[in-house]
Amino acid sequence: WIDSGRWPQIRGAVETHSGGLIADRAGAPVPPLSGEEFATKDSELLACDVECRLAGVEGFYLELDIPGLNQLIGDKGAVKP
């Protein structure tokens, strides 16, 4: 997830830390790869997320789907009222 409202401020950091996986086109962030190819770049995107956070850059957040995680943790991850 990229905060498009903050894109002008975070663009340089995201482009640098993503290793070219996220680029600017007409003032908006876009992946220059096909959807299928981009979907295989989770390690690179995780590294970008970490590097951005370490640099104090807010507005780039990675959410990964980890198959089987919910079954593994069961109710441990449930929020209780």
Measured distance CA(36)–CA(70) in Å, rounded: 25
Give dist(CA 43, CA 40) in Å, integer.
8
Report the distance separating Cα 14 and Cα 77, nearest Å: 30
Tens of pLDDT along 31-59?
A: 988 888 888 888 898 899 999 999 999 88
Q: What is the pTM of this model?
A: 0.70
Q: How confident is the model at residue 77 (pLDDT cuts 50, 70, 90)?
A: low
